[in-house]
């Protein structure tokens, strides 16, 4: 069965509606028989998505750095709890175990995860769907920033289109399925020199 990684918040100082959204995503993943890959936390949206997925019968994989386990915020209810040495290893493991990515509203950690996986996609290191689920427009400034970078010539239209923006859980799930269908028919080509240069820090 395919695995879907959900990037989301672990902050507890946010509106309850974000945890509700995360739970809806977790349940939708379970309903399709997919595996959930998450950041391995038990709090806020991260905990909500994992609990909902398990309640719906999904297999859940949590990937968490050792330092956060020691802070007692790990999701010990996960079917698999993978403990990494650091954040870099965590992101690599989440990438390796996932066939698609859904990003919910979140903070700098969530943004870092999204941007890193998008850079890899823009370099054609993978062809996994990258979906942003933003029902209330929290991430709209990011969408506007990307559009501005395209206008200025820093980002290609083809790279910008690799981020699929949605506003409902149903649309996000459909975008994942559509991305898989398109990836299966196209495949991953070698990146051009221009694509490498564009992604350079």
Can you tell me the distance from the alpha carbon of 139 to that of 76, in angstroms, rounded to the nearest whole number? 30
Query: Does residue 189 carry a pLDDT above 80?
Result: no
If pLDDT is split at 50, 70 and 90, which confidence band does 188 have? very low
Residue with tokens 């999204």: 114
- With beta carbons less than 8 A apart as the criterion, state whether 55 and 30 touch: yes
Domains and CATH numbers, the chain: 3-199 (3.40.50.450)
Global pTM? 0.91
Q: Which of 21-25, 86-90, 188-192 holds the top average pLDDT?
A: 21-25
pLDDT, tens digit, for every residue of 23-69?
Answer: 999 999 999 999 999 999 999 999 999 999 999 999 999 999 999 88
pLDDT of residue 45: 97
Closest CA to 155 of 200, 186, 113, 111: 200
Can you tell me the distance from the alpha carbon of 196 to that of 127, in angstroms, rounded to the nearest whole number? 16
């Amino acid at each position: 069965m395919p695995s879907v990684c959900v990037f989301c918040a672990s902050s507890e100082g946010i509106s309850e509606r974000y945890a509700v959204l995360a739970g809806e995503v977790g349940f939708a993943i379970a309903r399709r028989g997919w595996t959930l890959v998450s950041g391995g936390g038990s709090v806020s949206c991260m905990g909500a998505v994992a609990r909902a997925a398990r309640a719906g019968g999904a297999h859940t994989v949590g990937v968490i750095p050792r330092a956060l386990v020691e802070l007692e915020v790990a999701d010990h209810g996960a079917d698999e709890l993978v403990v990494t040495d650091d954040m870099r290893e965590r992101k690599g493991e989440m990438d390796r175990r996932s066939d698609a990515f859904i990003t919910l509203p979140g903070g700098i950690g969530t943004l870092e995860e999204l941007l890193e996986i998008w850079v890899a996609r823009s370099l054609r290191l993978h062809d996994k769907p990258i979906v942003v689920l933003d029902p209330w427009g929290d991430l709209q400034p990011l969408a506007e920033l990307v559009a501005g970078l395209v206008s200025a010539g820093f980002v290609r239209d083809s790279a910008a289109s690799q981020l699929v923006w949605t506003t409902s859980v149903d649309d996000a799930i459909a975008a994942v399925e559509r991305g898989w269908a398109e990836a299966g028919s196209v495949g991953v080509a070698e990146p051009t020199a221009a694509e490498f240069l564009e992604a350079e820090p």
